[in-house]
Chains A and B, each alone.
Chain A
Amino acid sequence: MIFIMAWRNIWRNKMRSIVIMLSVSIGLFAGIAVLALYKGMMRSRVRTVIDAEISHIQIHQKEFKKDYDPAYTLQAGDSIQAIIRRMKQVKFVARRSITQGMLNTPTGSAGVQINGIEPDIEYQTSQLREKIIKGEGFHSDKKNEILIGKKLADKMKLKTASKLVLTFTDTAGNIVSAAFRVAGIYQSQNAPLDEVVVYVELRTLSALLLVGNSFHEIAILLKDDDDLLFVQRELEQRFPGYLVESWKQISPETELLVKTVDEYSYIIIIIILFALAFGIVNTMLMAILERTREIGMMVALGTTKSKVFLLVLFETILLTIAGTPLGLLAALVVTGYYHKHGLDLSGMGKDMMASFGFNTIVYPSFPIEKLLAIMLLVAGTAIVASLLPALKALRLEAVKALRR
């Protein structure tokens, strides 16, 4: 009976209740839209990190990453690579040689990280081919070609076919300089990396570093993200002498960013619901004030305080929850549309977003995994919002209320 009364009571002043329900719908829609946008951005960032920058797992010699000394190559790298290739969870395996050096042109110089790659494999593993915006990339019949990032090209005033000199130290401690011709200019979604990472062919770099057929890094791209932990553990057990790291360990800032944004998104929802709670409290206080006499009569007849409290609580919860399906539906439809077609945020500053490693086209994703938490937050808001009106109702003295 109390529940039925609560439901009917919210329709006593239809316009007022509908306004509150719409507020809840819009608030919830806004909150979920923000969550979906954040989720889309974070997904995009993580995908970029995995598919275009780091891959799922990297293997190095344990000492290598301390100061990128080219002497620390992966012994038996070829056989390790062969074993990894046979794992059913693995999609692509790329090997790389890496060293730090200087890029020199007649107009200036810049510190760079030189990645020696096998172009055909790298094109698949890190989508390097798709990133090339000028030039054709590596030619199999040409030597000493280099791919540089757009930002570095702009900075050093380099174009395709421009010549430059790379200077670095080989494994014997000699300073080596080699001339390269720009075979292509790439642009990734991570502008800071574009400024420092250059790509040359693995065989060229290995020869200059005097490492023979050895290399420094194995990058592994998995078929399924969910296999990450399993494959990492498997590799750690198989190759205990090497450093096997996941993208989360290599790029902790990305992991931190995802977690932080996740928490922020909850804070945003809480702020929205907190603001809505004031509207709900106001509406319920008005409803209680209007029904002072009725509540007094109910208490006079023998309605216990707990039942009066429940009546106000149910009314508030129903008023709040009634607007929830519409908000969820609107969020589902809108995020679904943009998930399919993408949301162009380049108006917010393409360069700025790129400098933080974000793609300007975001594909928002409905945060289904947060739905339960959101619903609990909505219910929590309703309960909190009901407390003040319920307290007001409980304080009513039957004899005074009946005089009104």
Chain B
Amino acid sequence: MNNTVIDAHNISKVYNPETIPVYAVNSVHLHLARGEFAALVGPSGSGKTTLLNLIGGLDKPDVGEIFINGVDITKLSVNQLINFRLHNIGFVFQSFNLIPVLTAKENAEFIMLLQGRRKREREKRLTQLFKQIGLEEKMNTRPAELSGGQQQRIAVARALASKPQFVLADEPTANLDSNSASNLLDIMAKLNAEENMTFLFSTHDPRVIERAARVITLVDGKITVDTAPTGSLHIKHEDAHSEKI
């Protein structure tokens, strides 16, 4: 059985190609297996968010192919991509991005409703998820009445509700205090362990990096360091050759 979830081949994204080209992502190869808990790190402007957007099908690379579960998403149309994201990818954003007019439960239920899941299935899944994130009491509360940490936990529940192939989280702890961040990481790690869910998150946060099973370092759009799932380290040189330490 193929265990690969994300397989990106030589992808590049260039801004201002006709004036002053800026390589946000430059010839990146990335391979993520099911159940990985990986952190994408690097300084600001290194291309972390762009790479996540490309892998998440929110943007298209100028060069290269991205296979998600064997499907080349660079070949999909806008509408096909929307549908693909709906059924395969969970997103967690830095600033929570919950829908303010919906309750915590409705926010988490949103994707399942878009997918047309039955009520019984939704209820079962949401009850389980809210228990896992420890917010059973807040199911009918609107986001404005929740703390940042609680909102981000709801966002994680929303991302996981439909059991996607993997979850992309763009700096999920950036706006959280250390307790909330630690709590969120516990939840994500628990879900990763319990549901074998694949996580890829961009971060600056050493607490997140510390908890990640794999750390991918991005500098100027290129992967410079990639620790293997086993804990071994690959240092990648400019010429794209790698050596195992």
At the interface, yes or no: A85 with Cβ under 8 Å from chain B?
no
B114 pairs with A307, CB closer than 8 A: yes
At the interface, yes or no: A304 with Cβ under 8 Å from chain B?
yes
B79 pairs with A305, CB closer than 8 A: yes
B102 pairs with A5, CB closer than 8 A: yes
Q: Which of under 10, 10 to 19, 20 to 34, or 35 or more describes the interface residues of A? A: 20 to 34
- Nearest-Cβ distance from residue A294 to partner chain B, whole angstroms: 6
- Nearest-Cβ distance from residue B156 to partner chain A, whole angstroms: 13
B97 pairs with A294, CB closer than 8 A: yes
Digitize B214-230: 1 where CB-to-A-CB distance is under 8 Å, 0 elsewhere. 00000000000000000
Which of B58, B102, B113 is in CB contact (< 8 Å) with A399?
B58
Residues of A within 8 A of B93 (CB): 297, 402
B82 pairs with A299, CB closer than 8 A: yes
Distance A304 CA – B111 CA, assembled complex (angstroms): 11
Distance A285 CA – B38 CA, assembled complex (angstroms): 40
Residues of B within 8 A of A (CB-CB), count: 25
- Nearest-Cβ distance from residue A400 to partner chain B, whole angstroms: 9
Distance A351 CA – B100 CA, assembled complex (angstroms): 63
Q: What is the number of contacts between chain A and chain B, taking CB atoms within 8 Å?
A: 59
B97 pairs with A297, CB closer than 8 A: yes
* Chain A residues numbered 1-49 whose CB sits less than 8 Å from any CB in chain B: 1, 4-5, 8-9, 12
Q: Is the interface of A mostly helix, strand, loop or mixed?
A: helix
The CB with the most chain B CB atoms within 10 A, among A8, A293, A301, A398, is that of A301
Residues of B within 8 A of A298 (CB): 99
Digitize B107-124: 1 where CB-to-A-CB distance is under 8 Å, 0 elsewhere. 001110111000000000
Distance A303 CA – B82 CA, assembled complex (angstroms): 7
B110 pairs with A402, CB closer than 8 A: no
At the interface, yes or no: B87 with Cβ under 8 Å from chain A?
yes
Distance A301 CA – B83 CA, assembled complex (angstroms): 9
A12 pairs with B101, CB closer than 8 A: yes
A12 pairs with B100, CB closer than 8 A: yes
- Nearest-Cβ distance from residue B22 to partner chain A, whole angstroms: 15
B114 pairs with A293, CB closer than 8 A: no
At the interface, yes or no: B42 with Cβ under 8 Å from chain A?
no
At the interface, yes or no: A212 with Cβ under 8 Å from chain B?
no
Distance A366 CA – B114 CA, assembled complex (angstroms): 45
Distance A300 CA – B100 CA, assembled complex (angstroms): 17
A302 pairs with B83, CB closer than 8 A: yes
Q: A1-B113, A402-B97 are in contact. List 13 more A-B contacts (CB 8 A).
A: A12-B101, A294-B99, A297-B99, A300-B56, A300-B91, A301-B91, A301-B111, A302-B86, A303-B86, A305-B79, A307-B114, A398-B58, A402-B58
Would you list the 4 A-B pairs with minimal beta carbon distance, nearest first?
Answer: A302-B86, A8-B101, A297-B97, A399-B58
